[in-house]
Amino acid sequence: MKRGTLVILILIITGSLAFASSMGVLKRRPLPDEYGNVFMNNYSMKNNIAPVIFNHWLHRAKYTCRLCHVDLGFAMKAGATGVTEEDNKRGFYCGACHNGKEAFGPKEKNMFGKETKNCARCHSFGQGPVLEKDFYKFTKEFPKGRFGNGIDWEKAEQEGKIRLKDYLEGVSIRRKPLSVPKDFDINAGAAHMPEIIFSHRKHAVWNGCEVCHPEIFDVRKGATKYTMSDIFSGKYCGVCHGKVAFPNLDCQRCHSKPI
């Protein structure tokens, strides 16, 4: 199981980056419970502990993307944050929540004072099923989506199936919300290809402004030029779509303006 899983995970993680070198064949798609899972092994194996498997699906059912990727400073690329145990203990990154208050901490005491270690709940690669929540049970009531996790996350939020926390006491600082720009069309640049309807409103629910602007997308209208190939190779929209947000397979979900 281990070698196979490792291969699959690496495939998922490097997924859209690797496509250029594997042209001509079709890759296996990740299973719904694998989609958006991130394999983190900057320091784990060097320190003789199993690598971390971070599952986006469980976290995004409770928190906005913005909370971790802006307030906590997580990079948008697996492994690029370089989280250390020391960081977590000082209350940064994972440790901002995984401290025994907001979420389980590294150690827990039960009512009789018996201590249990929670290491394997995150350092779970190759450790068998250790998650408290089973993906399929947890997401059973969520509206179904076509690809990725098989969940329509946008709808799940709209319908109140999930409530996203966007503020973490002691970390986040509230600002007055900015007005959300109107939806606009993006030219697809090819005849017969429907234009893209981009909705700031839908994105802002999860991302605020800061996840995308100004680093991924310039704020000046039309200043960022990109192609579908850039997106497929994990840039621009592809920073999220294809890894965590609904994948690029779902062409019509963006290319949706009637011709």
Partner 1 sequence: MKSKLLVISLAGLLLLTFLPSNAVAQFLQLPPAPPPEQYGNILINRNSGNYGVKPVVFSHWLHRMKYTCRVCHLELGFNFQASTTLITEKANREGKYCGACHNGKIAFGITKDNCKLCHNGDISSGKSEFARLETLPKAGYGNGIDWVKAVEDGAIKPKGSLDGNYKTVPFKKKLTYEVEWGDIPPAVFPHKAHILWLDCANCHPGIFNIEMKSTRHFSMDEMVNRESCGVCHLTVAFPLNDCRGCHRR
Q: Which residues of the shown chain bind partner 1 in the complex (CB under 8 A)?
A: 19-20, 22-29, 146, 190-194, 227-229, 232, 248-252, 255, 259
C-alpha 133/C-alpha 130 separation (Å) is 9
Measured in whole angstroms, the distance separating CA 232 from the mean position of its chain's CA atoms is 16
Residues shown for the chain:
259
Assess contact for 184 and 196: CB atoms under 8 A: no
Nearest to partner 1 of 24, 113 (CB atom) = 24
Smallest gap from residue 249 Cβ to partner 1 (A)? 4
Nearest to partner 1 of 116, 227 (CB atom) = 227
Burial class (CB in 10 A: 0-12, 13-18, 19+), 239: buried
Smallest gap from residue 229 Cβ to partner 1 (A)? 4
Assess contact for 141 and 161: CB atoms under 8 A: yes
Nearest to partner 1 of 25, 173 (CB atom) = 25
Smallest gap from residue 155 Cβ to partner 1 (A)? 14
Nearest to partner 1 of 2, 28 (CB atom) = 28
Q: How far is CA 94 from CA 23, 53, 60, 158, 200, in A?
A: 36, 13, 14, 27, 28
Burial class (CB in 10 A: 0-12, 13-18, 19+), 49: middle
Smallest gap from residue 30 Cβ to partner 1 (A)? 10
Nearest to partner 1 of 178, 191 (CB atom) = 191
Smallest gap from residue 127 Cβ to partner 1 (A)? 22
